[in-house]
Structure 1
Amino acid sequence: MAHSAAVPGVNAGVALRARPVDFARWRARDLSGWTDSEMLEAYKRLENTSAGDDSLRGRSGPLPIHQMRREELTPSVRAFIDASVSEGLERLADVNGTGQNGVTAYQLNVLEGVRQNTGMAYLSDGVRRRPNLTLRGGTEIDRLILDGDVARGVVATDGTEFTADEVILSAGAYGSAAILMRSGIGPADHLRSLGIPVVADLPVGLHLQNQPFFYNVYALRPGKLAMTPPGGALIWTRSSEAADDELDIHISATHLIEPESSPTGGAIVLAVSIIRPDSIGSVRLSSRDPRDAPVIDYNFLAEPRDRRRMVEAVKLCRRIGAGERFSEVAEFELLPGDTVRDDAELERHILDNLGSYEHTTSTVPMGGDDDEWAVVDSVGAVHSVANVRVVDASIFPEVPATATNLTAIMTAEYLFQRVYGT
């Protein structure tokens, strides 16, 4: 699928939790732990926010989370929220509280326009001064050092070896999978085809999940051209084919687009995603050389249900865009444009202009002994190989029905507490 050039790949710092139904689906993979109460406490440990109820939200964690106020939003984002309410969606007070079906201004891990990443939030000056911590920049890991089926450390791409009693991989859905496969841990036939000796025949990279993104773009009217702050608001709701308690649609209103892309000098993007896709992709090595990028196949909208739901979601988005309230700020629709009318034309346009939400997960998924996709157990330990653990979004059994930022951080919080007890 082509990637639309309408929106640059800038992460807005959206801070959204996964829902209990997501973790129920994970536990169905024969995982111990990962209970709703444990997830709530792990989310609370990481966050520092004034939003929401004390019983549900964290007040003293390392990661600041800000609930955007109406007066902080651009006029067009405020109009998007009002138009969504006019379409029948509920206005949400705290999307990270008890209810998510509706429309809300974003919560962001952003302070004064700067995203607070985990390096900034967790690696304070005091932490950096600890004698048992060494930070190395510009270091890329090639593979594990293995003594049979026991990990003894890692090798960097420059040949430097680092020994360890335990190796924790946190290189993300592409990086962790690639390191494992270069180490001989992965699909046996694929590894042999690259001349990599097989240590453990495991389905690494075969259950890639991501969320397709389509950009419905509107030119803003003169006098309504404000595009700062870029992060705005979110619809989180369900399609007509959603399962019970499933919310499978996101419509994200942002200004993550260049002003000159609009003839009026300002634009707003209403980006649509099917956030619980049926389609499964893959990531494979292109060679055993760590400098060669892996081969990534999102396989977006391969399943007919995904296509139907995406068309339905974009139609909802366009109804909001064509409504009276939103038309007060929007001059006209840039994408897909008024020449795209019926469902067949819309589906073709979506397929030709599809992007990625960049919420990539599940290439090293957790699962029990009988789970055909499982690479690691319920605490991230790699099956059949000792002393190596994976802690990042690659171990999610499936992509949660939301942005993955907070849940990846929460996973590290939870596993650290569960494995090491501190």
Structure 2
Amino acid sequence: MGNTFNETPTGMDRRQFLAAAGLAGAAVALPAGAVARSLAGERGFDVVIVGGGSAGAVLARRLSEDAWRRVLLIEAGSAYRPDKYPDAIRLQSIIGGDPAHDWGYSAELGWAGKVIPTPRGKVLGGSSAVNAGVAMRAPAADFERWTAAGLPHWTPAETLPFFQKSERTVHGAERFHGRAGPWPIHQLQEDEISDMQRAFVASAQEAGFGRVEDFNSDRPFGAGPYPMNNRMGQRLNTGMTYLSDAVRARPNLHILADTLVDRVEVSAGRARAVVLANGERIAGAEIVLSAGAYGTPAILLRSGIGPAADLRAQGIAVVADLPVGQRLQEHPFFYTVWAAHADRLGLPVPPVGAILWARSSQGGPGDGDFHVSAVHYGDPASSPTGAIFMLALALTRPRSIGQLKLRDRNPATAPLINLNILGAAEDRELMVEGIQMIRRIAGQGPLAEIIAQELVPGPAVKTAAALEAALPTSLDIYHHPTSTAPMGGDDDPHAVTDYQGRVCGVANLRVADASSFPDVPSVATNPTVIMLAERVSQWMKG
């Protein structure tokens, strides 16, 4: 623990920690960079990682495995010890965290004319500390699509070993799964999901969909219980699992928490240092941005890396004219809401337990562009029967593309996020198709026996036009933002980085997080972000 500055459970602030570490008085009168020099010594840091979320935690663990490499991980939020995370972060039943561990971002949906909160984890572990804990990998079709677009070395065969490297599970076939990785995965069984969720799976099968035993195999499409990285009701984020006590004790790994990064300092075409919000400069031989799909592009833009016209409008000198923030994607999400017979619903646990992964009429071969999650969300008091559940639809291959821009140059100001959800007419048509699919499933089998009535969109909303008009009433997002600094091939006009995450035209600077995906994967993104960080760290190690 001695390498974690501003570690929260001790109750010590930065000044107290420095004093306890033999640096008394330094927190008050340190000249710029003195904290970093105290940590790194005369040689400085070999790698500075910005962001301690799903990707940053992986990078910190893997890059510090080589004792000679001095690694600094900077996290804007708190750094709890692995066994001391508070309930808002630790408990599976609390999804989205709380204000103390959230960035406070909001986003314009676009077509629906709404502004909604976009929770992102501000804590060691990042959004893996506040998500639902779903552990489903991107399917082969996603990597095949990226490969066909010119991105090398991201084929299904090349990515599988890194999924396996991350994973520790007793479930599934050896050829797909890892047994000794840091990240524990549990495949929920039939007796671990709720009565409603079992009924949903059975009704989906009656509607013609297959039964999936392993969503992380080569046959992921159909219905079944989720694979999760939860245990006994606790969410096991990467701050707990990748950054265990033993990893944090490595003398060459330092974690600087509660520290906001402003920008990357670039000179003569090379990244030289990160500049903190307080003006302190921390040098590194190589810098990796893993601050997430909203945080990473904001840092790049403040560093002068982005669309030249936008940068000049903010008074920022242009370092590299790149399409940062121009390919933002997010999964649209719509809650169909159902009143249940109170004596048939059963216990509403777990909150998230079963899913249907299906292909729309417009899906390509190998695509799974519909998710339907059977979840125990909603206020029972809003149901005429006093019992409620939801079947939540996600379109996981959206056509709509949003943008992220700076509001101003202040690192404490949230960026301007325009998700453009359902901006493409085809996306709206597919959401309508998905709602119609849900109605077919709900109208048959054991699920139909549980349902008392449809509440949203409601039985009076029948035609495709009426369903499209009703979309804003229950529209949300799946909380999987991606692609704001995408990887790409040499001739890709949308690329911000190459296939290894190296920023085009700026030496010694990489991006490794959900920003890097060429487009949004057709699944919850966390496992694929972890895999990406495993792959990038291997390249960095050589």
TM-score range, shorter chain: over 0.9
Structure-2 change in CA distance of 1:54 and 1:30 (3 Å):
same
Match of 1:289 in 2: 410
Could you tell me whether the CA contact under 8 Å between 2:202 and 2:445 is conserved in 1?
Answer: no
Change (3 A) 1:102 1:3: farther
Equivalence for 1:39: 159
1:383 aligns with 2:504: yes
Match of residue 242 from structure 1: 363
The residue number in structure 1 matching 2:443 is 322
Deviation at 1:4, TM superposition (A): 10
Tell me the SS of whatever aligns to 2:255: coil
Matches for 1:254-273 after TM superposition, within 5 Å: 254-273=375-394
Equivalent residue number for residue 141 of structure 1: 261
1:106 aligned partner:
226
Counterpart amino acid of residue 112 in structure 1 = M
- Cα 1:332–1:281 change in 2 (3 A) is same
Report how far residue 225 of structure 1 moved: 4.4
State the distance in 1 between where 2:251 and 2:385 align. 56
Instruction: Give RMSD over aligned pairs.
Output: 1.8
Deviation of 1:194 after TM superposition, in Å, equals 0.8
- Answering whether residue 483 of structure 2 is matched by residue 362 of structure 1, we say yes
1:266 offset after TM fit, Å? 3.2
Q: CA deviation at 1:220?
A: 2.3
Which structure ranks higher in relative contact order (CA pairs < 8 Å, sequence separation ≥ 6)?
A: 1
User: Which stretch has the larger CA shift, 233-242 or 264-273?
Assistant: 264-273
Q: Is the 8 A contact 2:351 2:375 kept in 1?
A: yes
Unpaired stretches in structure 1, ≥5 consecutive residues: none
Instruction: Name the aligned partner's letter for residue 396 of structure 2.
Output: I
Do the aligned partners of 2:328 and 2:483 also contact (CA within 8 Å) in 1? Answer: yes
Match of 1:151 in 2: 271
> Does the 8 A contact of 2:354 with 2:373 survive in 1?
yes
Match in the other structure for 1:350: 471
Secondary structure of residue in 1 paired with 2:201: helix
Give the drift of 1:159: 2.1
Of residues 188, 191, 206, the one that matches 1:68 is 188
Match of 1:206 in 2: 326
Tell me, in whole angstroms, the C-alpha distance in 1 between the residues paired with 2:115 and 2:221. Answer: 28
Aligned-pair CA distance for 1:2? 5.5
> How far apart, CA to CA, are the structure 1 residues paired with 2:258 and 2:113?
31
Distance in structure 2 (CA, Å) of the matches to 1:2 and 1:237: 28
- Partner residue of 2:61? none
Aligned to 2:40: none
> Residue 400 of structure 1: CA displacement?
1.0
Query: Which string of whole-angstrom CA distances, capped at 9 and with x for unpartnered residues, describes residues 61-102 of structure 1?
Result: 111111111111111111111111110110111111111221
Tell whether the 8 Å contact from 2:140 to 2:366 is kept in structure 1 after alignment: no
Q: Deviations over 1:113-135 (max 9, x none)?
A: 11111111101111111111111
Counterpart secondary structure, 1:164:
strand
CA contact (8 A) 2:262 2:277 kept: yes
Q: 1:341 aligns with which of 446, 462, 478?
A: 462
Tell whether the 8 Å contact from 2:330 to 2:479 is kept in structure 1 after alignment. Answer: yes
What letter corresponds to residue 226 of structure 1 in structure 2? L
Name the SS of the counterpart of 2:409 in structure 1: coil
Q: Quick check: 2:336–2:474 contact (8 Å CA) kept in 1?
A: no
What is the aligned counterpart of 2:374 among 253, 256, 262?
253
2:297 is aligned with 1:177: yes
Whole-Å Cα distance in 1 between the matches of residues 450 and 238 of structure 2?
Answer: 36
State the secondary structure of the residue aligned to 2:209. coil
CA distance in 2, matches of 1:353, 1:163: 47
Structure 2 unmatched runs, 5+? 1-111, 121-129
Q: Tell me the alpha carbon deviations over residues 180-207 of structure 1, each in whole angstroms, 9 at most, x when there is no partner.
A: 0000000000111111111100000000
1:262 corresponds to which letter in structure 2?
S
Report deviation, 1:414: 1.1
In the alignment, which residue of structure 1 is the partner of 2:428?
Answer: 307
Which of 142, 145, 155 is the matching residue for 1:22? 142
TM-score by length of 2: 0.75
CA distance in 2, matches of 1:3, 1:120: 36
* Aligned mates of 2:422, 2:171 — CA distance in 1: 36
In 2, Cα distance between equivalents of 1:273 and 1:338 = 21
Q: How does 1:79-98 map to 2 (within 5 A)?
A: 79-98=199-218
1-side partners of 2:119 and 2:392: how far apart? 12
Is the CA contact 2:400–2:424 (under 8 Å) kept in the aligned structure 1? yes
Asked if structure 2 preserves the Cα contact closer than 8 Å seen for 1:2 and 1:354, the reply is no
Report the Cα distance in structure 2 between the residues aligned to 1:278 and 1:37, rounded to whole angstroms.
Answer: 26
